[in-house]
Amino acid sequence: MSLQVCQSLNIHYVMLLQLLYSSFLKYAHTIFAIVIFILMPVARL
């Protein structure tokens, strides 16, 4: 495997990770809100 192919694959995976991370950050507060919404009645019991 040539160095150039390795570097381009590396860049590809870094971009993929950044995309996943940004989408996780975008939806993290939504997931958090849903979890709190589900757990609120349970916490009252």
3-class DSSP state of 45: coil
Domain that holds residue 29: 1-45
Structure-token pair, residue 29? 């507060």
DSSP annotation of 1: -
Note the pLDDT tens digit of each residue in 1-45. 688 888 888 898 999 999 999 998 999 999 999 999 999 988 877
Predicted local distance difference test score (pLDDT) of residue 1: 61
pLDDT value of residue 42: 86
Into how many domains does the chain fold?
1
Distance of alpha carbon 43 from alpha carbon 45, whole angstroms: 6
